[in-house]
Structure 1
Amino acid sequence: MRRIFCTILWGVYMQMFSYAATMPIYALVHIFTSSAATTNREAIRPRYLAPLDLKVIIPAFGIGYFLLSFLFAYPFSSGVVQQWCGAIWQGFPQYVVLVQVLLAKLFSSSSPPARPTGTRSPRDDYQTLSKVYSFAFNVAAATQLFTFAVLGGVKLFPSLFPQWAIATLTFNNVFNPGPFYGSQPMNSMASGMQTFFLYDQYAGSAAALIWGSFLYLGSRKTDVAWRDGAWLGWEVSRWFIVAGAGGALVRLLQRRDAELLLDAEIDERKKTL
């Protein structure tokens, strides 16, 4: 229940005060207060989750977030329906958690009991967790590459697109927010929201990537040399291009969990020898 409450609280705070305000505060609090963020590798211990909780994360996001996002973006002919979909979408963090809890209850009553934590190996947990990470990365990559494909199609084959798309769907319009503060009034409410959204994503994503890099480097058993930092920078840049900041963060956390869980399995094997 504590994990559910914290997740809902994080989501509500993000919706109320923006991602750019929530992520830096969360990262700082986590780094300075959580034992999972310590740079002492030996002090970090894996925390195991029930396999059922991990298995229902993907359908929970599909119902609680992607379905609502589709309804939010769908061009309904009724403005009232469009506004209701937008209002309902605002509560997606609660819906994702609620659907996750309901699915876990539903599947737990119809599925055989899971093996106790003590009988599962860290590799089993890592394989289950990797499916969730892979799903998240693939969704981020599909979104990123689809955006690049549309922008490239408009640029290379303008005759296939209407005039409004040619004028609007450019790399500069989509990714460049423009000056943070200007003396001129905004062109429209939509353009003002787009500018805010871009700055919100860039600031929050920068904090998330710094946080994820800190966690990954702290999970390594060996000392981190400058070559390791340079290589990590290249890896993050590569993931960022393919799947955006969200995909890069997913890969960082996946690498971190691999370090912890697979090392824990090695330690367990040594104890049995």
Structure 2
Amino acid sequence: MTTNRRPVIVGVDGSPASFGAVRWAVDEAMRHGQLLRVAHVIAVPDAFEPAADEHEVALHAAVEARNWQPGLLVTTFTWRGSPAHVLVDQSQSAALVVVGSRGTGGFHSLRIGSVGLQLAAHAGCPVLVVHHAERWAGPEVPLPQHQPIVVGADGSAHAEVGVELAFAEAMSRGVPLIAVRAWQEPAHRWGRATDLTRCAATAHDALAAELAPWRAKYPSVPVEPRTVQAAPAAALLDAGRDALMIVLGPRGTGGFDDLRLGSVTQQVLDHASAPVLVARH
């Protein structure tokens, strides 16, 4: 297997959820020909306080990863400090960072709003947050293989990064793609009725134009453009209910230009049941 210099990094803490995240990371690394780096960051008040499981957690996860995929190249990394800060730093030279949405032990604060949220906002590579990752802690439960991937497309430059990554993921997995564009009724002007049919047609045409270059680049990916009259987060959560994963850019249209993570991405990260892949440059 030819490996990419940039590894897939997975954060572990010994919990079932972190082992589920390892299985997703193993799958990503194998499909893209990359090595896997298992990272255990120990958040202790005193950097010199002894930790009995200092190396065992990462080593155990690495052994399991090799058992699942014997041909995979796996390394381990154990550090003390802030899990979010360490993983953000490691992400600068990674292809992908994978974490469970919740954890215990070394990642006792690993839930959206802390480590996962900070990675989504500041990582130097895409971040996969695996919700309810304990579902896949053991090899007896297969990872999803045939469900579609859902991507949010609102026409912004940030969303386009997500669309590109979603097409690449769909092609590598051989699954269809559902591209969602939400639209809402504009504010009423005095004495003027809103033409909702025209609003829907405008959204449809804009989505088709946004997808056109990526459909040409990835002709083998089946694509379902879906325009929905709804709030963006609600539309994505509904479409992603039975999806393999939801892919988003770090932020979309609206809001402040200096925000690292948009409100829609935060809401989807908070409430999705499927894994969420946040694209970053």
Instruction: With the length of structure 2 as denominator, give the TM-score of the two structures.
Output: 0.24
Structure with the greater alpha carbon radius of gyration: 1
Higher relative contact order (CA 8 A, sep 6+): 1
Q: Tell me which protein shows more helix as a share of its residues.
A: 1
Q: Tell me which protein shows more strand as a share of its residues.
A: 2
